[in-house]
Amino acid sequence: MNVLRNAPVLVPACATAQGVNAAWRAALVARDLGVALRLLQLAPHLAPVSAQMCSLQRLALEIKAHLGIDVELTHATEHALAATVRAAREAALVVIGPRPGNPLRQLVLGTQAEQLIRLCRVPVLVVKRPATASYRRVLVPVELTPAARPVIATAARLSRSAGGGAARAGRRGRSRAAPARPVTGAGAA
Q: Is pTM, for the whole model, over 0.75?
A: no
- pLDDT averaged over 10-residue windows placed end to end, the chain, 189 residues: 71 85 94 93 62 84 95 86 90 84 54 78 85 81 83 76 48 40 38
Residue 164 Cα distances to 1, 167, 179, 180, angstroms: 20, 9, 7, 6
Going from N- to C-terminal start, the domains of the chain cover 9-126, 146-187
Task: Give the pLDDT confidence of 69-113 residue by residue, as tens digits.
Answer: 999 998 888 888 888 999 999 998 999 887 665 555 555 556 777
Please give the CATH superfamily to which domain 9-126 belongs. Answer: HUPs (3.40.50.620)
- Count of positions (residues) in the chain: 189
The pLDDT value recorded for residue 70 is 95
Number of Cβ atoms within 10 Å of the Cβ of 59: 20
Contact 5, 154 (CB under 8 A): no
